[in-house]
Each structure stands twice: as C-alpha cells, then as structure tokens.
Amino acid sequence: MAEDLGWVHLAVLLAAVAFGAVVPVVPTGPALAAAAVLAHDEAPWEIVLVLAVGWLGAYLGDLVVFALFSFTGGRIAQRVPWLHADRPAMAAMGRRIEANDLATMTTSRLIPAGRLPVLAAAAVSGYPWHRFALTAVASAGAWAVLYVGIGLLGGAVVPSTTVALVAAVLVALAIGVVPRLVTRTPRG
C-alpha cells in the first residue's frame, strides 16, 4: 500500500463517510473523490479499496439512520413537522418507496439533501428492514461510484495531483453543496 493512502487513511475515510451519512453536514463526497485522486496517483489498484471503503461507509451510515428513524420514528414524527405520517407528502413518499423502492432509494442517495427525507418516510411508514438493507446496498454503491468517478476523472485529466485533488473536491462540493444552497435561497 502506498504511504500516502494506507490502512489508517482508509479506516479514517470509512469512519468519515459513515459519520457523514448519519450527520449530513460532513462533506463525504469530496472526501471520497479526494481519496480516489490520491489512489489514482499512488497505486491505481487502490481505487478498488477506496470504492469499497466509501461504499461500506455509506451503507453502514444509511443503516444507522434508518434504524434511528425506525426505532424513534413516532417520537421524531411528532417533533419534526415534515415527518408527520398523515401528511400528504409523507404518504406519497411512502407509496413511491413501496412502488419502486430501488429507484427511489438510489435517486434519493444521489440528490443532495434527498436521502434523509426518503429514509425518514420509509422508516416511519414501516418499510421492512430487510428490504431496506438490500436496497441500501445499491444506493450506497451508486453514490460511491459517482464520487470515486469524479476523483478518477480529475486524476486522469489533470496531470498535477495537487490540482487534480483541488478540482475533484471542488466538483464534488459543487454537486453536493450548491444544490442545497440554491434550494435554501429565498425567492422574492
């Protein structure tokens, strides 16, 4: 393993991605893209490790979030207005998840700020744990492939590792943060 991307770094990446899946203010996509740039530069076979670590971290984080919403869903629904199960939007989301769970879960993972409302709706509506565990594998994998792909593209297109690292992080931030900021901007 290259000195710049060792087992300790992979363990930190795993913890950061899992933590970021639970606490969504952590920019996990840019971290994964940056790790992919470093892997591309040091030892291309490490990209497989970065992908696996990112995938596993996202999956574990999603399992924790779903479990939290499942076990505390009723209490959370009472405190957070958009989680009320009887609201039309939550009911519609629950029906959408039941009708096409894989597509809905995967799309929600790829849309900035889309994952938590879908996980909450699934958990509060009683979506089965075993089905969630299976669909979360695909959605976490799609997310990991997207951000590792950004890192690979940056590492392949830009000859300087430092510039590629900065470019990959900026692109990943733009994908993950800018849409959130745009949706929060008040419209006058």
What is the mean predicted confidence (pLDDT) over 77-87?
62
Contacts of 18 (CB under 8 A, 6+ apart): 56, 57, 58, 60, 61, 64
Q: Please give the tally of structural domains in the chain.
A: 1
Give one word for 13, left, alpha or beta, with left for phi > 0 and alpha for psi -120 to 50. alpha
In the structure, what pLDDT confidence band is assigned to residue 83 with cuts at 50, 70 and 90? low
Write down the pTM of the prediction: 0.82
**Residue 69 domain flag:** yes
**Residue 184 domain flag:** no
pLDDT tens, position by position, 11-69:
999 999 999 999 888 889 889 998 998 888 888 889 999 999 999 999 999 999 999 98
Structural domain containing residue 102: 7-179
77 CA to centre of own chain: 23
